[in-house]
Structure formats: structure tokens, C-alpha cells
Structure 1
Amino acid sequence: MPLQDYMQLVSTDDHLIEHPALWADRLPRRFLDAGPRIIEHEFTPGKTPAQVWLYEGRIYRYIGLNAVAGKRPEEYGAEPIRYSDMLPGCYDVAARVRDMDIEGVQAQLNFPSFPRFAGTVFLEADDKELALLCVRAWNDYVLEEWCAAAPDRFIPLVLVPLWDVHEAVAEVERTAALGARAISFVENPVPLGLPSFHTDYWDPFFSACEEHEMVLCVHFGSSGYSPRTAPEAPMAVMISLFGCNSMYATADLLFSPVFHRHPKLKFALSEGGIGWVPYMLERIDTTWEKHRYYQNIDQTVRPSDLFREHIFGCFIEDQHGIDNRHQVGIDNITWEGDYPHSDSNWPNSRKLLAEALLDVPDDEAHKMVELNARRLFRFPRTEAGV
């Protein structure tokens, strides 16, 4: 039976909620008024004021990005408007470790919340000097406080300044020296006004990631694009289709020169699911077979072979993907818990995962829930984690 006691759950996609003083504690005094800070804001007279982020004079209404762990689906709805509406584990690292222990999760990789998944709030900023300091402040907090509080429990993921590829390289080198293992990057730069994967713009950055073995984690939605079908369509349509963003990213990368120029580069499709992978690879390979000779694409390497070497899928609940794991690639699958978002199964992740993997041999289950992630992120068990 899978999920034996020796199998530790390593989640490749969770989220931390930034505490109110994160930037105030780290920015130079002259930037404190413009830098991100929490204020009380009354959207509706007579209603409980919300806690919102104020940055460069702009109000950002969200603080938790759907941080509803511990609530029943009947209670989902509006964004948590105050820190008191969330579990302390959303923003307090000691409480997070306790919540991980409750559901039997050994390690997590955590994406940002206020900066958005890949730090695109800072890409939109007016003052890029301040924005760069904000990126560095978030990274320093993650590396020096959040991950340092329990080094065997948190895989260090950082941001880069997307608007300047040379500054991005410098931040890769700076944070790699401090122990970073991964970078939250965008699934598609183009909707954000940035050069595509089909140009050479990102080559210095990708080379730096290769040199320091940094995994590029591309969370769905990090491009700023939401898959919508109609203005009247309920949000359920968008939620159901978000995995398509990871499909777009896969096709885009596999037909781009990225992996041909950077043979050691690794991408993780955070929260993209895995059930679609067999069909998508079949379709991409068929397209390559029939159409590669008259297009500006590589004619020698089958795209599915590139996928097996460079791309990792991440799933929460995906029985179809589990059942077809060998077509996905048993070495290319990782599990994620998505704490504290609504897709999370906290505090029942281990129980439900064990049920989903009931017919999977132990050695394969172990790869999917722990070993693949440890290999990908260079995050071995420590004495404390054995």
C-alpha cells in the first residue's frame, strides 16, 4: 500500500501570506511611505474595514489570495479581508510548521501573495529602484526568516526583477549564494509586455539559472492571463480552465529554442495538473512530425523527449493523471498541497493522497510524493527530516 510511513510528502506549490511589516522592516527609510504597507480601508460605510496593501499610492484589495484553508466550501467566497480571517499558518512560520505537521507534510515550496506569483506587482511599479528593493526584501525575508526557521521544511524560492534581465541575473547569483533553489517565473512573458521565449532576450538569465541549478517554477496565472470564455461566464469556468495556461506554456517552450540553448534548464508547471500531459505530448509530437520542415523549429529532437528532460508536472487531485502516470513520465511528476488556497485539502492531504494512490506501487508513489521533488530542487532529507 502506498504512502508508507517512510514516505515524506514534499509539496511543490504552497503560498505564504506576507506579514504587514515585511517591507517596512527592510526598505530604506526614504521609501517607507511609497513601499508596500498595510492600511485600514473602509470600502462600504458601516462595514468592517478591510486590511489592504498600499503601494505607490495604489490600493491592492487582496491580502490572502483565497486563503481559506480550514473553512468549509460553503464558507468560500469573498477574499479574506483581515489577517484575523485566516489561519495564523498563512503568515506565521511557526504556525505553518504546526499546520504541516497536522496533515503530515514534511516540506513545502511557497509562492508569494501580495507580489503575485512571480512578482509582477513590482513589474508594474513606477519607481523601479524601489521595485528592485522590494524584490530583494521579499527574497531576504524568505531566505533569512521563513526558510531559515525550519530549513528541512521549506524549499527556498525567490523572485527576480522581470523588467531588467541583467538585474535578474544579479539576483539569481545573489540568492543562489544564500541557498535559493528555485525562482518563481512567468508562464508566458508576452501578456506582461516582455519578450517571448522565442527570442534571445532571456538567454543570460536562463544561463545563470543553469549555472546555479535554479528551477523555474511557472505557476498558472503568472502571465496575468485568465482563461475566460464570456463576460457573463461564472468564475467556475475560469477556475476549470486555468490548467490550459500550463498547456500553452508547454507547447510554447517545447517549440521554442529555450531547451536547445539551455540543456540543463528545468521548469515546473505549478498547479497545472498532469492529466492533460499524455494528450498534449502526443499532439505536439504529431505536429512536429508533420510541420517541422517548413517552420523555424528544431528538426532533430522530438518535443516529448525535451519534456521528459526539462519539464515537471505538479498535481493536487488528478486521478486521471495518476492512472496514466507512465504516459506522463513517472520521473516528471510532483505533488502539491496548495496551502492555504481553496484547492488545498488541508488538513486531509495525506489521507486523500493515500486513497488516490491506492493502486500505485510503493516505489512509484514514493517518487511522486517525495523523491522527484527532492531531486529536482536539490533538497535532500536532513538528520531532522529522517
Structure 2
Amino acid sequence: MPLRDHHQIVSVDDHLIEHPRVWQDRLPEKFKERGPRIIEKDNKHIWVYDGDVYPTVGLNAVVGKPPEEWGLDPVRYEDMIPGCYDPAARIKDMDLDGIQAAMLFPSFPGFGGGVFFRAKDKELALAGVKAWNDYYSEEWCKPYPDRFIPLCIVPFWDIEETVREVHRCAAMGARTISFPDSPVPMGLPSFHNAHWEPLWNACEETGMVISLHFGSSAYVPGFSYSAMQAVPGQMSMPDAPFAVAITLFSTNLMWSTVDLLFSGVLQRHPKLRFSLAEGGIGWIPYILERSDFVWERHRHYMKNIDFHTRPSDLFREHIWGCFIDDVFGVKNLDLIGHNKAMLEIDYPHSDSLWPNSRKRAAEVLEDLPDDVVTKVTETNARELFNFPRIDGTTPGQ
């Protein structure tokens, strides 16, 4: 069934490139000199934050360029199309691509705010987190309430401040927090640890979805990445091309999924919901089959495993998958669940199919019934993130 006019596409994973004055316009005066700002170096635009240098990675802003011109080198803002950093221009690019709405993850802070986690001055870092949340809300979401899904990052190194920021951002209209796909590589307690209980409680109280974007913990199998620098203690393969890491990106979220399914968190928090950003969906049937197999055979001698709830049942209650171009996953959607898959566009990153996203989605989804296409392209995302159409129309009509 081809995409029809009534099929609106809601992307649950896109990105923005922060303009140079995001923090200079919002930080308290005492922090501005050390806060994130853009400088020119070797004819490139470079972020400087509290004495450290953070390149603007070229691969994060390649839409509109042929693959032969892509690279990891830092770029200038003039090298990007304006839709990367300007919300009005982004709307035009979304219209060109046939995309109705999008949820945007950060760039400079890292997908989940890891740059601020690794910062030396945590008071400055907290101010940086709040400034980004205010910026995305004020400059993107409020002027275009039907086009951008409100998202926030949190100061997850401080659980009390994290809870406060969840409530503050929820009051501003945020629907989800971007959280590390696993806290463990960052030296923080795992999902199994009671340390995170106040966060889970806050997300249930506010209805916040927890978005886990691959690589948001700064761990990527096969590649050491932390502002393009090695992360101490992280496994890396220095002789391998970056293609190895790109291919293995979704394995981050396989780990996250299994960890959550066996953590006990989902049983204790029945309203908690997780979105697996940029993880694909083709692997989900196997992971659920394997998790159930292990649960059946091994739970009897383990004291910390739920004896009564199958992992696959927990997945279907609490976790949603996202994909860009996953033909295998779509063919196995019956095993995943028609309500559990959402489309993502990934603009302006290198996996994005812009400006042909809608055309490719029509090809990938062509064998699905009309009502399932509506769920995957739009309503699954609208229901999960509480982001209804504001014109009052009903999807599918």
C-alpha cells in the first residue's frame, strides 16, 4: 500500500546543529566566557567549552551533499544547509521531504548531554543543560508546535538535579528526556541499581518517555568517541575503518534492551516507556526470542530475575523501536508488533535519506495494510509522545 496524502510522517529521531550563540545568549554572565562558544581555527568553526576544544563533526551535517564529499573533519556553518541550524529553514526542508513533524536530538552536548557530564565544572554544566533545554523549547518547539516534538536533556550525574530538570521541562511541555543508552560506560550505576529510582518515579509522574539514542553513553563498539577523543577504558579497534562502528551502532540498543528487560525496573514502574532511537528494528525478534529462551531455562537459579513475567511481554508493554530503512524489520513486523515500530529520518546525518525520505518509506512499507502504515509513520509516535495533531483531524481519514 503506497503512502497516501493522509499518511503524515512523524520522525522520532532527527538532529539539530546548535547555532553559535545558544549558550552565550542564555548563560549567566559569570559563565559566558567559559561557556560553549564558536571560534575560528584553521578556517574551521570549532566549539570551545571551558578550555577544551570540540570539533563540529562534518558527518553530522551532510544532507544536501553527495557521499563522495562526506567526512569527519570539522566544518563551517556556511558548509551546512541552513536547515541544520535554522528552524524556519528546517520546516522548508521537512516540507520538501514530506515530513510533518520531528523530534530533534542535540549535537554539541552529545545525544544525551554527555559533554556536560564529562565537564570539570558541574555548576557550569548544569547551566549548560538548562540553556539547551530553553533554547530548543523557545526557538524550535514553541514557534512551530505542530512540527517539533519537545525533548530535553538532563544533568544525569546528579540525580536530584535530574529530577528537578525533568519536572521543569515537563512544565515547559517536554515529552521525553534523552538519556544515556547505558550509564555503565560512563562509570555510573547500571539500570539495575536503585540509584535511578527517583528518575523513574519522576518520568512516571510527568509522563516523560525515556529516549535512548545509540552512542549517547559515548560508547560505540569498534570506535572510541568522546568529542572525537578516546574514552579511557573503552574498547577500540584503531586499525578498523569507521564503517565497522557505523554497522554496529544498533548493538548499543540491543544491550540496553536486554539490560532493561532483566533489570526489574519495568515491573516496578508499569507506566515507564522507552524509545530506542536510531537502533533499527530487524534485530528485535531475535533478541526477544533469545531473552525468553534464557528466562525459561535459567531463571530458576537466579535470585534477581522475575519468575513470572516473560521478557518479551515486558518489551511489548514498555519499549518502542525506531528505524530509518529497515526492510528486514518491516517484513517481520508481525513478530515485533504493529504498535512498536516508529519511523525516523535522521536529518541532517549521513544515514538520512533526505530529500527522498517519503519516497523510500513508501517503498519499504508498500506491502503493509493501510492501517499499519498509519501506525508506523505517525500514530505510534503521536500516542507514545502525547503529540496529537493540533488541527483536530483523525489520522487515516
TM-score by length of 1: 0.96
Partner of 1:302: 310
Q: CA deviation at 1:63?
A: 5.2
| 1:266 aligns to 2:277 (yes or no) | no
Structure 2 distance, partners of 1:299, 1:171, is 35
Q: CA deviation at 1:370?
A: 0.3
Q: Is the 8 A contact 2:58 2:70 kept in 1?
A: no
Query: Which string of whole-angstrom CA distances, capped at 9 and with x for unpartnered residues, describes residues 101-152 of structure 1?
Result: 0011000000000000000100011111111111000000111221112100
Q: CA deviation at 1:65?
A: 5.2
Match 1:114 to one of 108, 112, 134: 108
Structure 1 distance, partners of 2:73, 2:85, is 15
Partner of 1:33: 33
Partner of 2:391: 383
Partner of 2:6: helix, strand, or coil?
A: coil
Structure 2 distance, partners of 1:169, 1:120, is 17
Q: CA deviation at 1:292?
A: 0.7
Partner of 1:46: none
| 1:319 aligns to 2:327 (yes or no) | yes
Aligned residue type for 1:310? H
Partner of 1:103: 97
Gaps of at least 5 residues in structure 1 are 43-48
Aligned residue type for 2:190? S
Match 2:148 to one of 154, 157, 161: 154
Gaps of at least 5 residues in structure 2 are 223-235
Number of equivalenced pairs: 380
Partner of 1:105: helix, strand, or coil?
A: coil
Q: Is the 8 A contact 1:183 1:216 kept in 2?
A: yes
Partner of 1:331: helix, strand, or coil?
A: coil
| 1:3 aligns to 2:3 (yes or no) | yes
Query: Which string of whole-angstrom CA distances, capped at 9 and with x for unpartnered residues, describes residues 57-114 of structure 1?
Result: 0010125552101111111123451001101000000000000000110000000000
Q: CA deviation at 1:180?
A: 0.4
Partner of 2:56: helix, strand, or coil?
A: coil
Taking only the aligned residue pairs, the percentage that are identical comes to 60
Partner of 1:244: 251
Match 1:185 to one of 175, 179, 183: 179
Aligned residue type for 1:200? A
Structure 2 distance, partners of 1:130, 1:385, is 44
Q: CA deviation at 1:260?
A: 1.3
Alignment RMSD (CA, Å): 1.2
Structure 1 distance, partners of 2:368, 2:13, is 22
Structure 2 distance, partners of 1:131, 1:368, is 37
Aligned residue type for 1:282? E
TM-score by length of 2: 0.94
| 1:140 aligns to 2:147 (yes or no) | no
Q: Is the 8 A contact 2:13 2:105 kept in 1?
A: yes
Query: Which string of whole-angstrom CA distances, capped at 9 and with x for unpartnered residues, describes residues 324-381 of structure 1?
Result: 0010111000000000000000000000100111111100011000000000000000
Partner of 1:342: 350
Q: Is the 8 A contact 1:64 1:113 kept in 2?
A: no
Partner of 2:283: 276
Structure 2 distance, partners of 1:358, 1:79, is 38
